[in-house]
Every structure is written in structure tokens, then in C-alpha cells.
Amino acid sequence: MDDTSIIKLYWERDENAVRETAAKYGKLCIKLSENILNNKSDAEECVNDSYLTVWNRIPDERPDYFSAFLCRIVKNLSLKRLEHNTAQKRNPEMLVSLDELQECLPSDNLPEKSFDARLLGKSISDFLRKQKEVDRCIFIRRYWYSDSVKAIAEDLGVKEDRISVTLFRMRKKLKIHLEKEGFCL
């Protein structure tokens, strides 16, 4: 079933919407959540909570990109769960991927809040659209889907060093791009 039909089911308040969403995007959502949480049962719970969140939000919103809308909800709920879980322990892979991006992104704890998150997101999207497809894929897999460098390298059939170098170079380019766009770093 295509995304437009799934969204229509949500608008009609048809419970098949959740089943169709799970059938089409369930594996992607579980993988995304597991990459963040490193815990299958927590990931499954976050994904189920995500379906409820989508159910509650769709009547008010009609997302242009349903998969991105869904993944954003899964990621946000998983990060909240990670924050809750990290009171006792840490997920080093997720924390490393977030730390890697810290040097590229403006600080949001500045008193004057010199940037708007939507403008920052658009600027990052514009930057990524200008990159080679494989580099963009690597970047998104690492920083959106929280895939490990090892997993990305294995899937692409290259050495981990190549992935690490590509990510390092892209972070440098992103930093330069954001500075040119006027975002304080």
C-alpha cells in the first residue's frame, strides 16, 4: 500500500492504518529504535508508542513524506527512552554519533538562541542534497538512523576507515556550510 493510501486510512480513523504502517515500515522503525537503544524490547515498545503517536497526530497533520514523519517520531521516542535508560547506563554507539556532530552544529544553549531549528534543518538538508549520493547515504545512516560505522561499511562492502574518513570530511564541509549560512558555532 502506498503512503497516500495509508495516510487516508489514518484520516478515516481506520485501524487498518496502523497495520499497514507496521507492514510497510515496521522493520525500518525497529532497526532505527534498536540502533539507538540497543534493546529489542524497548525498541518494540517505542515503535508501538510511535504508531499511537502517528494515530493521534495525523488528523491534525498531513505529512508530505510519511516515512520521514514516522521515523522522526520513532527516533524522538527512542531518544527519550535512551535518556530515561541512561540514568543507570550509557549506549556508547549512540552517544558517539551524537558527539561527532556536536562540533558541526550551533550550540542551542546560547542565551540569545542565534538560530531557528527549522532554518538549521533546511540548511543541513540543502547541504546534503549537494553531496554525492553515497556520501549522503553514509551521513544519513550514521546520524539519522544511528547505524554503526561497522554496519555501514559491511553493507557498502568497504573498510570502516573509508566510512570514518567520509564522515569526518562531511562534518568539516557541513561546519563550513553552516558558518557560511550564518549559524554561529
Start-end of CATH 1.10.10.10 domains in the chain: 92-180
From 52, 57, 62, select the one nearest 21 (Cα to Cα): 52
CATH number for the region 3-85 comes to: 1.10.1740.10
State the Cα angle at 24 between 155 and 41, rounded to 5°: 75
Is residue 123 within 8 A of residue 177, CB to CB? The reply is yes
Start-end of CATH 1.10.1740.10 domains in the chain: 3-85
> What is the pLDDT of the chain when averaged over all its residues?
84
CATH number for the region 92-180 comes to: 1.10.10.10
pLDDT digits (tens, 9 = 90+) for 78-90: 988 888 877 655 5
Phi-psi sector, 146: left (phi>0), alpha (psi -120 to 50), beta: left
Is residue 6 within 8 A of residue 24, CB to CB? The reply is yes
Distances (CA, A) of 145 to 78, 137, 151: 11, 10, 11
Entry field: residues in the chain = 185
What confidence category does residue 97 fall into, taking pLDDT thresholds of 50, 70 and 90?
low
pLDDT digits (tens, 9 = 90+) for 118-148: 777 888 889 999 999 999 999 988 888 888 8
- The larger pLDDT score, comparing residue 24 to residue 63, is at 24
